[in-house]
Each structure stands twice: as C-alpha cells, then as structure tokens.
Structure 1
C-alpha cells in the first residue's frame, strides 16, 4: 500500500511528466514551422528579412497582415498559389515571382510556417493558423495574378505592411 509521501511523489512525477510533454509538443510545433520555413522559404527570404529590392521581408508583416480574416486568407493564398508582380513594401519596390507550394506542402505544414512567421513579429498576440483554415483556402485555387489582385484590394481597405 502506498503511503501519503509515496502518493505525493507519484503525483508530483505525473505533473512534471505532463508539463514536460506539453512543453515538448508546444516547442516541437514551433520547431516544425521553423524547419519548414528554412527548407521551403528561407532560401529566398533568408532569415525573414528578405533582400531589399529583390525579395520582400516577412518578419513584422505576417503577424500584422494575419490580424484580419481577409489577411489570413490572403497569406494562405500566397503560399498555396504563389505571387507574381510588383509590390511596394515599406517604401521599397519589389518585382518578383514566388512559387506555389500547393503541391509541395500539406495544410498542416503551411499553417506551421505562417504561425512561425507570425510569432516572429511584434504583435502581442500573433495569429495562429490551422490546417483546417488552410484546407478551406486550398479548395479554391487561384492564378497568381488573382493573388496579386487580392493584395491590391486588401491594401485599399487597410494599408498592408
């Protein structure tokens, strides 16, 4: 029969185990987003800072754009469908072509990348993207020109960073 001190030690061990498992799962989600970013996006966008005049920066922008439902939809469209054409971001002109990741990344992987990038911004409560949210956008493919038009419409409603 377990004594009270033994039961306390067992309970304490279970609490510590559960807390560790929770932290590990939370951290692995962040690590997954970072790893997916590095292998799919980082080659062009570097550490999220981009290359002035060539590749737009992402840090400090994804969290702001993703603060609205329309912005979240747009960000999913960008990763799923790609984006071509001129952009003016923070007073710098970019004219580039981003590929579609529709056939390369799962909904979960895209959600983890967007969540990772949003967390690297300055927002107190950065948006968290879900695989279900990405799947809903995936169901409606767009040409890259339509994604660029979506950005222009959003920019008219509230200036995008």
Structure 2
C-alpha cells in the first residue's frame, strides 16, 4: 500500500514542477501577451509569433530584424503565415537587452527548429545603438520577406 502512495506523491511533485514558467515566459505575459496572447496572435488583428520566430531567427539578418522590432516597434500592414494584419506594435526599449533576449528565446523555443536559434543580449545591445523609426523596421521586414526569410 505504501508504494502506490509514494508513486502518486512523486507523480504529483513532478507534475507540479511542469507548471513553472521560464523567465522569458514570465516577461512575455505582461509585455507581449496582452496583444499576442500565448503567441498565437489574434486573427486579422495581431500576427502569431509562435512557430514563426524560430524561422526568422535562423539568419543573422533575421535576428537583427527581431531585435529592431522589439526596440523600435513596427507599424503598418504585414502578411504573416498567409494572414493579413494592420497593427501597431510599440517599442520595448524600456526592457533590458537580457530581458528582451529571454522573451524572444522563449518564443523561438516554441517553434519546430532544432536546435532552436538563440538571440543573445549583445544583438540587442548593437541594435540599441541606432534608434530607427518603426517605418524603417517595416522596410527591413519587407526586404527579408521578399527574400523568403519571413513566414
């Protein structure tokens, strides 16, 4: 009788640990999750992030673009995963380079790319040196999209 009770207790403790949020997920909620929800976005309004950012982050240009989106915002019409969106994302310059990398790496890890690309804080530090308008970020996006580097 004691063995099943011990196994049940071990299973309960193991499952309790599965519910812990990573640092990136904790930062994502109040900063990005308000609009992007769990990463799935909102059809016609806010584009999905999960399952896309890992593809964008595969290249150096893609990682730089993602850093610039987080630091400078993004406005205007875009196409993502075949859906059309016209939204305005604010700048998150108020967050540290480490916080921004934690958020993006959590989202990137939710994609299918293995091993998942990693965005390091130094990518944000380099991008932070040049503040550009969200319209220039949109131009970067269009350039990468034409090259097939943005789903």
Relative to the length of structure 2, the TM-score reads: 0.84
Establish whether residue 152 from structure 1 lines up as the match of residue 142 from structure 2: yes
* Structure-to-structure mapping, 1:86-105, within 5 angstroms: 86-102=77-93, 104-105=94-95
Q: How far is the alpha carbon of 1:98 from its aligned partner? A: 0.1
Equivalent-residue separation in structure 1 for 2:128 and 2:55 (angstroms):
22
* Structure-to-structure mapping, 1:9-158, within 5 angstroms: 31-102=22-93, 104-158=94-148
Worse-superposed segment, 86-95 or 74-83: 86-95
Q: How many residue pairs were aligned?
A: 132
Q: How far is the alpha carbon of 1:157 from its aligned partner? A: 1.6
Structure 2: 5+ residue stretches without partners: 1-19
Equivalent-residue separation in structure 2 for 1:54 and 1:151 (angstroms):
18
Larger Rg: 1
CA-based RMSD of the aligned residues comes to 1.3
Structure 1: 5+ residue stretches without partners: 1-27
Q: How far is the alpha carbon of 1:133 from its aligned partner? A: 1.5
Residue 17 of structure 1 aligns with which residue?
none
Q: For residue 140 of structure 1, give the secondary structure of its aligned residue in structure 2.
A: coil
